[in-house]
């Protein structure tokens, strides 16, 4: 029987080894530009590149300072994920889960001490759905089942699987934390967007997970630091939405660059000489920048409140969720518009907009960012209870 008894043990690179975080990130993005096609073929971001991302501080940006982490204000972390996503959406998506350590802050402090014993740079990947019931044991839970969408699992140091909520958790779902050697990864991931995220299935066969290695998703943190008072589920939605913004930014830059040179086979004027092309590119630019500006504005407002020692209000949480869903949809719509106005060129499988349109589609399809969020946010803004479970 496999049990989590010892801390995760492995060499972890220090963020400062490659100079400051920005310089390290520049180096990593240069490498990423040359390897993104490799990741797409592999269908995952390999562990060696996750190690490169660790050198940028991405995987200590949500580690508690008391355990050697360097927690970043949410907006600062989001901007780094956006930059990565401009180069490759899949890698941005995987890197975004550097924020997922805010979930682990709900574990007992003794458990967290074990997790960070070898260093603060921890890659955590979770497959939470569908929640699988686990039999209670004297020590915890007997976990068995199959879960989907474990983005980044191939490079993860720890894995989580979802359990249903119970009376003790107030109905909120639990997550059981396991080592990779306790889990079978099934590479079932054949998609048109975010192909390189390695969002594979996880299978667990009767592993007993001690109760202290489970946490309530969105539960009260045991760490008293500002980042863990920022709305947890809203932050999880933000880090995914901003990936779409990075993808859309690259699509717009491509449209502006190609507009001056592309001429169709019919002999029609080049794209930049067509009024509808100029108009739609300008409209898309304004639309994306507006959605993005509100997204960061709300994040910074809530962070200021948290730093002052006050919890985010229900309305602020709703605005975070709404701004995230709006940014995800806007980003996908922008890329779709650019495909529509670019003639026949984007129908080629090798055209950049093909990859970008698929990648931009994924964030807005996520449960945290889908159409139901508008209804739930609207209800809260009108003083009603949210209509979507797990909204906060």
Residues 196 and 151 in one domain: yes
Mean pLDDT calculated for residue range 243-253:
98
Q: Which residues pair with 141 in a beta bridge?
A: 136, 209
State both tokens at 164: 């249903």
Residue 6 lies in a domain: no
Residue 131 lies in a domain: yes
Q: Are 45 and 85 in contact (CB under 8 A)?
A: no
For the chain, the C-alpha Rg in angstroms (whole number) is 21
Question: What is the b/e burial string over 112-130, where b = at least 16 CB atoms within 10 angstroms of the residue's CB?
Answer: bebbbeebbbbbbbbbbee
3-class DSSP state of 125: strand
Mean pLDDT calculated for residue range 194-206:
98
- The span from the CA of 115 to the CA of 156, in Å, is 13
Nearest to residue 346, comparing CAs of 277, 292, 288, 287? Answer: 277
- The span from the CA of 219 to the CA of 177, in Å, is 15
User: According to the 3-state scheme, what is the secondary structure of 242-273?
Assistant: HHHHHHHHHHHHHHHHHHCCCCCCCCCCCHHH
Q: What is the pLDDT of residue 252?
A: 98
Instruction: For 88-136, write each residue's pLDDT tens digit.
Output: 999 999 999 999 999 999 999 999 999 999 999 999 999 999 999 999 9
Residues 279 and 311 in one domain: yes
Element (DSSP H or E) covering residue 163: strand 158-163
Instruction: For 357-371, write each residue's pLDDT tens digit.
Output: 999 999 999 999 999
Instruction: For 280-332, write each residue's pLDDT tens digit.
Output: 999 999 999 999 999 999 999 999 999 999 999 999 999 999 999 999 999 99
Quote the mean pLDDT of the chain.
93
Q: Are 233 and 392 in contact (CB under 8 A)?
A: yes
State both tokens at 150: 């474990």
Residue 315 lies in a domain: yes
Residues 32 and 89 in one domain: yes
Residues 144 and 50 in one domain: no
Residues 248 and 373 in one domain: yes
Residues 244 and 165 in one domain: no
Between the alpha carbon of residue 130 and those of residues 126, 145, 148, 164, 316, the distances in Å are 12, 9, 7, 9, 29
Q: What is the pLDDT of residue 25?
A: 95
Residues 329 and 244 in one domain: yes
Instruction: For 258-268, write each residue's pLDDT tens digit.
Output: 987 656 556 67
Residues 156 and 90 in one domain: no
Mean pLDDT calculated for residue range 43-63:
97
Residues 377 and 358 in one domain: yes
Q: What is the pLDDT of residue 16?
A: 45
Residue 157 lies in a domain: yes
3-class DSSP state of 119: coil
pLDDT at position 7 over 50:
no
Element (DSSP H or E) covering residue 140: strand 140-150
Nearest to residue 242, comparing CAs of 103, 362, 100? Answer: 362
234, HSE (Cβ side, Cα atoms, 13 Å): 28
Structural domain that includes position 161: 124-216
Total count of domains within the chain:
3
Residues 169 and 60 in one domain: no
Residues 192 and 335 in one domain: no
Residue 365 lies in a domain: yes
Domain boundary among 115, 133, 166: 115
CA dihedral 268, 273, 278, 281 (to 10 degrees): 60
Which residues, at least 6 apart from 321, have a Cβ–Cβ distance to it below 8 Å? 233, 234, 237, 368, 373, 376, 377, 391
Domain boundary among 168, 187, 216: 216
Q: What is the pLDDT of residue 392?
A: 83
Q: What is the pLDDT of residue 232?
A: 94
- List helix spans (H) across 264-351: 275-307, 314-340
State both tokens at 74: 């949410």
Lowest mean pLDDT across 10-19, 92-101, 208-217, 292-301:
10-19
Quick one: how far is CA 137 from the chain centroid?
33
CATH number at residue 50: 1.10.540.10
Mean pLDDT calculated for residue range 196-210:
98
CATH number at residue 160: 2.40.110.10
Q: What is the pLDDT of residue 312?
A: 97
Mean pLDDT calculated for residue range 14-29:
73
Residue 103 lies in a domain: yes
Residue that has been written with the tokens 């002052």 in this structure: 308
CATH number at residue 253: 1.20.140.10
Domain boundary among 190, 216, 242: 216
pLDDT at position 80 over 70:
yes
Residue 135 lies in a domain: yes
CA dihedral 367, 368, 369, 374 (to 10 degrees): 100
Residue 371 lies in a domain: yes
Residues 256 and 373 in one domain: yes
């Amino acid at each position: 029987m496999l049990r989590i008894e010892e801390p995760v043990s492995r060499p972890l690179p220090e963020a400062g080894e490659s100079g400051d975080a920005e310089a390290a990130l520049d180096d990593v993005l240069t490498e990423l530009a040359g390897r993104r096609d490799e990741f797409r073929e592999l269908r995952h971001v390999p562990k060696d590149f996750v190690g490169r991302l660790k050198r940028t501080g991405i995987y200590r940006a949500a580690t508690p300072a008391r355990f050697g982490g360097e927690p970043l204000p949410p907006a600062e972390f989001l901007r780094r994920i956006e930059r990565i996503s401009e180069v490759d959406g899949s890698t941005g998506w995987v890197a975004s889960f550097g924020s997922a350590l805010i979930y682990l802050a709900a574990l007992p402090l003794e458990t967290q001490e074990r997790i960070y014993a070898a260093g603060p740079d921890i890659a955590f990947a979770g497959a939470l759905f569908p929640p699988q019931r686990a039999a209670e044991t004297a020590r915890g839970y007997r976990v068995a089942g199959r879960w989907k969408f474990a983005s980044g699992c191939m490079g993860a140091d720890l894995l989580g699987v979802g359990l249903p909520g119970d009376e003790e958790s107030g109905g909120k779902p639990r997550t059981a934390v396991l080592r990779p050697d306790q889990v079978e990864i099934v590479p079932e991931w054949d998609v048109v967007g975010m192909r390189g995220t390695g969002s594979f299935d996880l299978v667990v066969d009767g592993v007993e997970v001690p109760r202290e290695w489970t946490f309530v998703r969105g539960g009260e943190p045991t760490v008293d630091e500002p980042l863990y008072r920022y709305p947890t589920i809203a932050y999880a939605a933000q880090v995914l939405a901003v990936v779409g913004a990075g993808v859309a930014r690259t699509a717009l830059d491509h449209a502006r660059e190609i507009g001056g040179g592309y001429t169709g086979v019919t002999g029609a004027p080049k794209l930049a000489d067509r009024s509808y092309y100029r108009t739609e590119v300008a409209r898309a630019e304004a639309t994306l920048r507006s959605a993005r500006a509100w997204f960061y504005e709300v994040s910074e407002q809530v962070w200021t409140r948290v730093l002052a020692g006050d919890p985010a209000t229900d309305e602020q949480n709703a605005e975070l969720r709404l701004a995230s869903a709006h940014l995800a949809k806007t980003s996908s719509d922008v890329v779709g518009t650019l495909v529509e106005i670019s003639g026949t060129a984007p129908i080629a499988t090798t055209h950049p907009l093909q990859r970008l349109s698929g990648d931009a589609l994924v964030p807005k399809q996520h449960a945290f960012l889908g159409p139901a969020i508008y209804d739930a946010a609207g209800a809260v803004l009108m003083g009603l209870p949210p209509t979507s479970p797990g909204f906060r």
